[in-house]
């Protein structure tokens, strides 16, 4: 089946009226027939070789993870993400993962883009401010859903490239500029909605001022590797916060980063809540798949019982907890992630460790779809330097400790720690996940 992508901005209502000469109707019909003749079902791949990949992405990774807005799903399905990533990354363009786009920046995963867009509740009359243009992909996804998008990028090279891409692909209702997103775009204010695709430690006041009364802001706020995505609604001049999910975004640079009070220590990497003792508090309890210290949880829950060794002594000592991952659909995600500050110049080797218990675990559709604890290292440009793991763990087995020494590439600037089933089926419990610097 042939799939055609026509950007909504190209189709305008009222350009052709019923009273115009019938030859226009005949010409339109002829063009439609000509397209049908020229693009046969067997030529679908030639017309749009990425269409099937986008459909699969939406079906298996975005909709299955909880995004339900049909307009948002359709925009993800029709926006050519491969056009917004470097040529070297195109083969991974429709994987549900963040990818490096240069200048130490990344393009967010399709699920996160879809989730943030849905949370924004875009309306056809909305004027939206985006902070952090990046590749331009988020602006492209928003374009058919709103009246106009104003997008700011602090990195000149990225901003210029995004503008060229958006212009070439035909997004006339997206305006871009180079500047510090902390300051917003006062000339175009007020905005109905603001979406921030980089993380400050706290909300910049200029953005609060430029949001109209009753307007909404979607923004990740927090420490460098411990952030929460919020929906904030402006009421009586102040922001009312609603937490949506833990997350990890690149930092908002410029004035926002200069004012950051809490900064990570890459010379002493550590795992936050690796023993899963910390429970959700307050409004965090309403978040689905939320485990404090971790983000992007899928099909996971914090379970409190005897702990990893199951002894009565530990049970009597207080609350013992672990993370439980359960999945019955081969290939469906079930995991937790955590960002780690680590410098390869200060840390040459670590010990990666954890405890695991499995029940009826079966391998998923790929060789990597098995329970494990994995760590991936990245350089200053967020290029992948390699992944190392303990596991995989199969079948049914009691609690067992595992560990291994891992040499840290000297170019390392940060890492992502991953725990879960990763597409396998069954149940896997993890506890006492840690990394320890080895001198």
Pairing assessment for the beta strands 295-298 and 238-247 based on DSSP bridges = unpaired
Whether 324 and 303 have beta carbons less than 8 Å apart is answered as: yes
Whether 152 and 177 have beta carbons less than 8 Å apart is answered as: yes
Distance CA(367)–CA(392), nearest Å, equals 10
Mean pLDDT of 327-335: 91
Mean pLDDT of 9-25: 31
Examine the pLDDT at 57 and tell me if it is beyond 90: yes
Q: Which residue has the higher pLDDT, 367 or 425?
A: 425
With a pLDDT cut of 90, the percent of the chain lying above it is 69
> What's the confidence (pLDDT) of residue 290?
87
Burial classification of residue 32, based on how many CB atoms lie within 10 Å of its CB (0-12 exposed, 13-18 middle, 19 or more buried): exposed
Q: State the average pLDDT for the chain.
A: 86
Tens-place pLDDT, residues 203-244: 999 999 999 999 999 999 988 889 999 999 999 999 999 999
Whether 246 and 194 have beta carbons less than 8 Å apart is answered as: no
Bridge partners (DSSP) of residue 304 are: 321
Bridge partners (DSSP) of residue 375 are: 388, 417
Q: CB-based contacts of 353: which residues, under 8 Å, 6+ apart?
A: 373, 390, 401, 402, 403, 404, 432, 433, 434, 435, 436
CA dist 158 to 47, 101, 140, 259, 335, Å? 29, 8, 15, 23, 31
3-state secondary structure 313-358: HHHHCCCEEEEEEEECCCCCCCEEEEEEECCCCCCCEEEEEEEEEE
The active-site residue out of 75, 104, 108, 333 is 108
For 387, the 3-state DSSP assignment is strand
Q: CB-based contacts of 73: which residues, under 8 Å, 6+ apart?
A: 58, 62, 63, 67, 114
> What's the confidence (pLDDT) of residue 306?
60
> What's the confidence (pLDDT) of residue 35?
35
Q: Where are the alpha helices (DSSP H) in 64-133?
A: 70-78, 110-120
Examine the pLDDT at 310 and tell me if it is beyond 80: no
The secondary structure element, H or E, covering residue 53 is helix 51-57
Q: Which residue has the higher pLDDT, 126 or 106?
A: 126
CA nearest to 405, candidates 334, 364, 352 = 352
> What's the confidence (pLDDT) of residue 38?
36
Mean pLDDT of 279-292: 81
Tens-place pLDDT, residues 256-273: 777 778 888 999 999 999
Q: CB-based contacts of 88: which residues, under 8 Å, 6+ apart?
A: none
Examine the pLDDT at 157 and tell me if it is beyond 50: yes
Domain 51-258 has CATH 3.10.129.10: no
Whether 146 and 120 have beta carbons less than 8 Å apart is answered as: no
> What's the confidence (pLDDT) of residue 46?
55
Distance CA(36)–CA(290), nearest Å, equals 49
* Sign of the C-alpha dihedral computed for residues 197, 198, 203 and 204 taken in this order: negative
Distance CA(381)–CA(384), nearest Å, equals 9
Please state, as a whole number, how many other Cβ atoms lie within 10 Å of the Cβ of residue 433.
24
The CATH architecture of the domain made up of 282-437 is Sandwich (2.60)
pLDDT band at 79 (very low <50, low <70, confident <90, very high): very high
Examine the pLDDT at 26 and tell me if it is beyond 60: no
Mean pLDDT of 139-162: 97
> What's the confidence (pLDDT) of residue 245?
87
Please state, as a whole number, how many other Cβ atoms lie within 10 Å of the Cβ of residue 52.
14
Q: How much helix, strand and coil, in percent to the nearest 5, is found in the chain?
A: 30, 35, 40
Q: CB-based contacts of 207: which residues, under 8 Å, 6+ apart?
A: 129, 131, 182, 184, 194, 196, 217, 219
Tens-place pLDDT, residues 375-408: 999 998 888 999 999 999 999 999 999 999 999 9
Examine the pLDDT at 17 and tell me if it is beyond 50: no
Mean pLDDT of 315-330: 78
CA nearest to 219, candidates 202, 206, 235, 205 = 202
Q: Where are the domains of the chain?
A: 51-258, 282-437
Tens-place pLDDT, residues 165-200: 999 999 999 999 999 999 999 999 999 999 999 999
Q: Which residue has the higher pLDDT, 379 or 29?
A: 379
Distance CA(325)–CA(182), nearest Å, equals 39
The secondary structure element, H or E, covering residue 101 is strand 99-102
> What's the confidence (pLDDT) of residue 319?
56
CA nearest to 87, candidates 165, 152, 172, 142 = 165
Residue 175 designated active-site = no
> What's the confidence (pLDDT) of residue 329?
92
CA dist 230 to 25, 194, 357, 397, Å? 49, 12, 34, 39
Examine the pLDDT at 86 and tell me if it is beyond 50: yes
CA dist 174 to 107, 114, 136, 297, Å? 18, 18, 9, 32
């Amino acid at each position: 089946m042939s799939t055609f992508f026509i950007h909504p901005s190209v189709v305008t209502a009222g350009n052709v009226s019923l009273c115009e000469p019938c030859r226009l109707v005949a010409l339109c019909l002829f063009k439609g027939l000509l397209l049908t003749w020229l693009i046969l079902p067997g030529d679908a791949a030639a017309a749009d070789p990425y269409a099937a990949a986008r459909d699969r992405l939406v079906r298996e990774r975005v909709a299955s993870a909880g995004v339900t807005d049909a307009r948002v799903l359709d925009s993800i399905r029709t926006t050519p993400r491969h056009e917004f990533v470097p040529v070297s990354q195109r083969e991974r363009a429709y994987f549900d993962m963040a990818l490096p786009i240069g200048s130490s920046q990344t393009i967010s995963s399709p699920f996160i883009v879809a989730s943030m867009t849905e949370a924004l509740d875009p309306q056809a009359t909305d004027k939206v401010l985006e902070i952090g243009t990046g590749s331009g992909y988020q602006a492209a996804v928003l374009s058919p859903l709103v009246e106009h998008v104003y997008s700011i990028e602090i990195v000149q090279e990225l901003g210029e490239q995004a503008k060229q891409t958006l212009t070439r692909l035909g997004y006339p209702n997206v305006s871009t500029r180079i500047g510090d997103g902390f300051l917003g775009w006062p000339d175009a204010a007020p905005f109905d909605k603001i979406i921030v695709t980089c993380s400050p430690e706290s909300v910049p006041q200029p953005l609060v001022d430029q949001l109209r009364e009753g307007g909404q802001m979607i923004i990740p706020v927090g420490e460098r590797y411990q952030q929460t995505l919020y929906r904030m609604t402006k009421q009586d001049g102040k922001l009312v916060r609603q937490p949506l999910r833990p997350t990890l975004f690149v930092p908002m640079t410029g004035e926002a980063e200069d004012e950051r009070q809490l900064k990570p220590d890459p010379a002493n990497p550590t795992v936050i809540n690796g023993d899963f003792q910390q429970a959700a508090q307050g409004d965090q309890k309403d978040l689905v798949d939320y485990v404090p210290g971790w983000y992007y949880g899928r099909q996971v829950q914090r379970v409190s019982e005897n702990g990893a060794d199951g002894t009565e002594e530990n049970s009597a000592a207080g609350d013992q907890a672990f993370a439980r991952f359960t999945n019955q659909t081969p290939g469906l995600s079930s995991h937790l992630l955590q960002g780690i500050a680590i410098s390869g110049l200060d840390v040459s080797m670590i010990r990666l460790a954890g405890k695991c218990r499995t029940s009826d675990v079966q391998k998923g559709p790929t060789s990597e779809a098995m329970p494990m604890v994995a760590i991936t290292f990245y350089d200053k440009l967020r290029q992948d330097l390699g992944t190392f793991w303990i596991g995989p763990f199969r079948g049914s087995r009691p609690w067992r400790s595992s560990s291994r020494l891992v040499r840290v590439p000297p170019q390392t600037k940060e890492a992502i720690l991953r725990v879960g089933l990763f597409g396998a089926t069954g149940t896997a419990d993890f506890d006492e996940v840690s990394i320890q610097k080895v001198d």
